[in-house]
């Protein structure tokens, strides 16, 4: 028992020990004795000593290195592809000919939607455009343009051709921002 230490289960059932003093001296003798090698040391361990996480003794791997087996000294992409490709599957050259053949895509089942959903999906953009036309045809927009750029307004208060061009450009930029920025953010 001194080579492996004293197990907790053996403390109550050891017949050769008379009392607590004998038990303590036995444990102290086990602790102070020369440690013996473990009963089973796995062969081919990879960690060199000292390993703080284990009581087993480990040595470096003595097997030869096999990293050079793919393409020897200078592997190519084809060497790596061949090593990764399971046997029995087509190689890269036959895959290119397979891709050139006409393939039929699997048919997708149509998603059933209600007719209200279809109508709303079709009318989203026209409703947005009609709202923007209404908004940009309000007189306040003409007043704002005339306030900041007075050369775009005639003496009668109407916008000049250049004023209408700027107004339509602002409307187009607003539509683009709504379509490309605001709508994707709302769909998150």
Q: For the residues of the chain, what is the DSSP string, one character each? A: -TTT---HHHHHH-TT--SHHHHHHHHHHHHHSPPPPPS---TT--PPSP-TT-SS------SPP-GGGTTTTS--HHHHHHHHSPTTS--HHHHHHHHHS--PPPPPPPPP--HHHHHHHHHHHHHHHHHHHHHHTSHHHHHHHHHH-GGGB-TTS-B-HHHHHHHHHHHHHHHHHIIIIIHHHHT-
Q: Residue 64 pLDDT > 80, yes or no?
A: no
pLDDT(168) > 90: yes
Burial grade of 171 (CB within 10 A; 0-12, 13-18, 19 or more): middle
The arithmetic mean of pLDDT across residues 70-92, rounded, is 67
Indicate the average pLDDT of the chain: 74
pLDDT of residue 121: 80
Neighbours of 142 (CB within 10 A): 19
Higher pLDDT, 91 or 159: 159
Choose the weakest-confidence range: 30-39, 48-57, 118-127, 178-187.
Answer: 48-57
Average pLDDT for residues 41-50, to the nearest whole number?
54
Among the listed residues 142, 141, 132, 139, the one whose alpha carbon sits nearest the alpha carbon of residue 173? 132
More confident residue, 49 or 28: 28
CA atoms within 13 A on the CB side of 105: 3
Percent of the chain with pLDDT over 90: 25
Contact at 8 Å (CB) between 149 and 163?
yes
Residue 1's pLDDT band, with cuts at 50, 70 and 90, is: very low
pTM score over 0.95? no
């Amino acid at each position: 028992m001194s080579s492996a230490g004293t197990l907790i289960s053996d403390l109550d059932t050891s017949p050769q020990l008379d009392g607590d003093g004998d038990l303590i001296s036995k444990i102290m003798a086990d602790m102070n004795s020369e440690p013996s090698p473990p009963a089973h040391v796995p062969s081919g361990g990879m960690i060199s000593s000292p390993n703080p996480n284990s009581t087993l003794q480990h040595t470096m791997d003595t097997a030869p290195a096999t990293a050079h087996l793919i393409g020897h000294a200078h592997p190519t992409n084809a060497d790596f592809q061949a090593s990764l490709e399971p046997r029995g599957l087509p190689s890269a050259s036959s895959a290119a000919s397979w891709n050139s053949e006409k393939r039929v895509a699997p048919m997708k089942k149509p998603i059933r939607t209600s007719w209200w959903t279809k109508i709303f999906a079709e009318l989203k953009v026209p409703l947005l455009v009609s709202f923007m036309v209404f908004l940009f045809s309000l007189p306040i927009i003409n007043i704002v343009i005339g306030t900041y750029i007075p050369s775009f307004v005639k003496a009668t208060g109407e916008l000049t051709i250049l004023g209408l061009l700027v107004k339509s450009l602002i409307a187009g930029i607003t539509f683009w921002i709504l379509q490309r920025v605001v709508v994707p953010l709302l769909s998150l």
